[in-house]
Structure 1
């Protein structure tokens, strides 16, 4: 299996984040991708390629241009105002406050375009996120070609980023960019299967009223787990998208048997949909040793996941890296999924 690697991911290198009200060392760090890259090389899984620049247009198909403009210049503006270190939002336009007018204040715009205080904006956040989207588009090209399968190694992740906001370590929604590009290339039905511990609220929101992308996710129950305010089982889509969104929220600490049972329910829904392309938002923070998550999967289960996705038999499959914060284990867990997929293909 070919890998597209975002060599510029390290430009986004936060030192700290806010976690449960405390300033703590960042969980989403460059070493995450470094360990995956080494594991891929050690396993000799396949050729590792670099992306090419497709420009902003594919990103603007799913993200608001004003939001992208803000991301491009935000850190320079922060520094020009005398800001030190990474930038964090501090105020948000909650219920009854207006969001239709972009404020002149930098602090206000940080809040307008964000969803939490745990996602630091660094000097290289835009560069890393932009090239992550380019890597996803390059992976899509491989999956739509003779190879039919590809893996994209990038960070920061993407599935929490909405059309006009960042959060959950995510700035550009790579899965959404790839799905829309696939439709623009002529596909009629795309499915996104999100197996990250945390619900991909951004991906769901982008496609919630559409029937050409089915979003399916199994994740920690938002009653207790981030992102808290989306990911419930009764969220089935709206308008023409009604029935094209499927969530399987699971309680923290649930058994691996319960996790795979939920996976089977989602795969049954995907089989009915019969997608031409399956995009897998591959978060491996479902690992039992993950520091911020509460499921129990380990390498045998990750390999089983890969084999099950191969058995699903999608005509084309694109894996995009999302979460996984047990840094030294992430590479082996990702490789277990990909090797399981290849062994089952």
Structure 2
């Protein structure tokens, strides 16, 4: 399997902290995640590939011009503010998305960053752009070869809306890959198996019928992202019936997760996708620091085998999965299971 990663550029993003229950703590989305994931890739003997620079086109196909301009320029603008913090954290938010768009960097940070887990530093834009390039390069390979490719995306992306960063995510890599696959395939499904609901991905495609979105995740009633990911959210307009959420009780293990995924895949098969994007979160693991679900290492193998049974071209995009001893082994288990199940 081809593995797309730019270790140098993606490693440069190193956020300092995030706000948890009113307390600032070290940010878990740190460069060491790449080392653990690369170790897992190495166990499988996969081919490491450098992504191409695909420019702004694939990003602009998913994200708004105002958001891309903000993300690419705001750090430089922020440095002109006297006594500003070294990273950008929003300190004010509009009460609705239809509110007026401000000119100041402070106001725009509040408009475009939904929570306190996404500080923007000197290298955030470049790392995010190359993370997205990994997703596009994997999709390009799949478009050309009808195969499976893995994008080691870091920072992750599935909490990012068309114009909103959130949950450690700045560009929605899974959505960008799906949109790129649409150049070749008429119907694409995104299957999100991260611990947390893929709220940004849902939002991007919520009114569309050409991309089906399925997310299997911890119940958001008392868990991030709280406001999205509930079972009644089915899409709107032309997209009604093309979004499916499968919220699981906290602590759900292999049996419950695989049952929920299997039931969700029945709906995906009815959509008859010609290609799929798997938003792979390894934070559903029983030993992940976020502790929301209890999937085992062997559970990731079984998960991959279920997904491989769809038997269509596939882009696997890395989402969550945080520092624990088994992180690399969990990725290896998933990739091996996918290969065996294909």
TM > 0.5 fold call: yes
How many residues are aligned here?
Answer: 340
- Pairing of 1:1-345 with structure 2 (within 5 A): 1-7=1-7, 8-44=9-45, 46-81=46-81, 82-95=83-96, 99-146=98-145, 148-183=147-182, 185-313=183-311, 315-345=312-342
Secondary structure at the aligned position of 1:328 is classed as: coil
Tell me how far apart the structure 2 counterparts of residues 283 and 91 of structure 1 sit (CA, whole Å).
Answer: 30
Q: CA deviation at 1:179?
A: 1.0
Contact 1:32-1:327 within 8 A present in 2 as well: no
Tell me how far apart the structure 1 counterparts of residues 292 and 175 of structure 2 sit (CA, whole Å).
Answer: 26
Kindly provide the CA deviation profile for residues 274-326 of structure 1, in whole angstroms up to 9, marking residues without a partner as x: 1011100000100011111311112110111111111232x201100000013
Q: CA deviation at 1:91?
A: 1.1
Structure 2: stretches of 5+ with no match in the other structure:
none
Contact 2:40-2:330 within 8 A present in 1 as well: no
Tell me how far apart the structure 2 counterparts of residues 182 and 190 of structure 1 sit (CA, whole Å).
Answer: 7
Q: Could you say if the C-alpha distance between residues 293 and 94 of structure 1 is closer, same or farther in structure 2, counting changes exceeding 3 Å? A: farther
Tell me how far apart the structure 1 counterparts of residues 107 and 266 of structure 2 sit (CA, whole Å).
Answer: 44
Tell me how far apart the structure 1 counterparts of residues 54 and 77 of structure 2 sit (CA, whole Å).
Answer: 26
Structure 1: stretches of 5+ with no match in the other structure:
none
Contact 2:209-2:239 within 8 A present in 1 as well: yes
Note the aligned Cα RMSD (angstroms): 1.3
Secondary structure at the aligned position of 1:333 is classed as: helix
Tell me how far apart the structure 1 counterparts of residues 253 and 280 of structure 2 sit (CA, whole Å).
Answer: 19
Kindly provide the CA deviation profile for residues 244-287 of structure 1, in whole angstroms up to 9, marking residues without a partner as x: 00000111112321111100111100111110111000001000
- TM-score normalized by the length of structure 2: 0.96
Tell me how far apart the structure 2 counterparts of residues 143 and 74 of structure 1 sit (CA, whole Å).
Answer: 34
